[in-house]
Structure 1
Amino acid sequence: MRKLCPNLDREDALDTVLEVPLPEEMFPSDKGGGGKGGPSAHNAHYMWLKSQAFDKITEAAPKQLSGRSAELQLLLSVVGSPLIPMPIPNDTAFKRSVRESSIQASTAKYILQQYIAAMGGQAALTSVQSMYAVGKVRMSASEFHMGNDSSAAVPSSTAKSSAGEIGGFVLWQKRPELWYFELVMAGCKMSAGCNGKLAWRHSTSEQSHASRGPPRPLRRSLQGLDPRSTANLFADAVCIGEKIIKGEECFILKLEANPSVLKSRSASTFDIIRHTVWGYFSQRTGLLMQIEDSHLLRMRAGRGRQSLATNSTSHHQLTSNCSINSSNNDASIFWETSMESVIEDYRYIDGINLAHGGRTVVTLFRYGEGSVNHKRRMEEVWSIEEADFNLHGLNSDYFLPPSDLKIDND
Structure 2
Amino acid sequence: MRKLCPNLDNEDGLETVLEVPIPEEMFTLMGSSAILRWHNLRTFMKNQSHGKYSTSHLPSGSNSEFMALLKLVGSPLIPLQVHCDCALTRPIKDCSIEASTAKYIVQQYVAAIGGLAALNAVNSMCAVGQVKMVGSEMHKADDNSVQTTTKVNSEVGGFVLWQKNPDLWYLELVVSGYKVSAGSDGSVAWNQSGSQPSHANKGPPRPLRRFFQGLDPRSTANLFLDAVCTGEKTINKEECFILKLETPADILQSQSTSQTEIVHHTIWGYFSQRTGLLVQFEDTKLVKMKAARGDDHVFWETTMETLVGDYRYVDGINIAHGGKTSALLFRYGHAYNQKRRIEETWEIDEVDFNICGLSMECFLPPSDLKRDDGEQ
Q: TM-score higher than 0.5 here?
A: yes
Q: Does residue 110 of the first structure (1) align with residue 100 of the second (2)?
A: no
Deviation at 1:28, TM superposition (A): 3.0
> Residue 235 of structure 1: CA displacement?
1.3
Rounded Cα–Cα distance in structure 2 between residues aligned with 1:269 and 1:397 = 33
Q: Deviations over 1:148-171 (max 9, x none)?
A: 12334474xxx7x64411111011
Match of residue 322 from structure 2:
357
2:287 to 287, 290, 297: 297
1:52 to 45, 59, 71: 45
Distance 1:143 1:11, change over 3 A: farther
Residue number in structure 1 paired with 2:53? none
**Number of the residue aligned with 1:169:** 159
Aligned to 2:178: 188
- Percent identity, please: 58
Match of 1:339?
304
Q: Given residue 3 of structure 1, which amino acid in structure 2 is its aligned partner?
A: K
Matches within 5 A, 1:2-401: 2-7=2-7, 14-28=14-28, 39=32, 43=36, 46-54=39-47, 67=61, 69-91=63-85, 94-153=88-147, 155=149, 162-301=152-291, 304=292, 329-368=294-333, 370-401=334-365
Determine if contact 1:200/1:210 at 8 Å carries over to the other structure: yes
Partner of 1:32: none
Tell me which amino acid in the other structure corresponds to 1:365.
F
Residue 315 of structure 1 aligns with which residue?
none
User: How far does the alpha carbon of each residue in 1:356-384 deviate from its partner, in whole angstroms, 9 at most, with x for none?
Assistant: 0000000000111x323000100100000
| Amino acid of the structure 1 residue aligned with 2:368 | D
Structure 1 residues 390, 243: closer, same or farther in 2, change over 3 A? same
Deviation of the 1:16 alpha carbon? 3.0
Task: Summarize the Cα distance change of 1:38–1:180 in structure 2 as closer, same or farther, 3 Å threshold.
Answer: closer
Contact 2:298 2:336 in 1 (8 A): no
- RMSD (Å) for aligned C-alpha atoms: 2.4
Q: Is the 8 A contact 2:77 2:206 kept in 1?
A: yes
Matched residue type, 1:366: R
Give, in whole Å, the separation in 2 of the partners of 1:186 and 1:389.
29
Taking a change above 3 Å as real, the CA distance of residues 153 and 44 of structure 1, as seen in their structure-2 partners, is farther
For 1:373 and 1:44, the matched residues in 2 are separated by 42
Contact 1:28 1:45 in 2 (8 A): no
Q: Distance in 1 between matches of 2:280 and 2:87?
A: 19
The Cα shift of 1:15 comes to: 3.3
Query: In structure 2, do the counterparts of structure 1 residues 15 and 387 end up closer, same or farther at CA, with 3 Å as the change threshold?
Result: same
Q: CA deviation at 1:53?
A: 4.0
Is this contact kept in 2: 1:223–1:355, CA < 8 A? yes
Check conservation: 1:93, 1:109, Cα contact below 8 A.
Answer: no
- Which TM-score applies when normalising by structure 1? 0.83
Cα shift at 1:52 = 3.3
Q: 1:56 to 1:222 in 2, by over 3 A?
A: closer
**Matched residue pairs, number?**
365
Q: Is 1:406–2:367 an aligned residue pair?
A: no
Given the superposition, is the C-alpha separation of residues 248 and 17 from structure 1 closer, same or farther in structure 2, using an over 3 Å criterion?
same
Structure 1 residues 359 and 56: CA distance shift in structure 2, 3 A: closer
Once the two structures are TM-superposed, the CA of residue 273 in structure 1 deviates from its matched residue by: 0.4
User: Could you tell me whether the CA contact under 8 Å between 1:346 and 1:355 is conserved in 2?
Assistant: yes
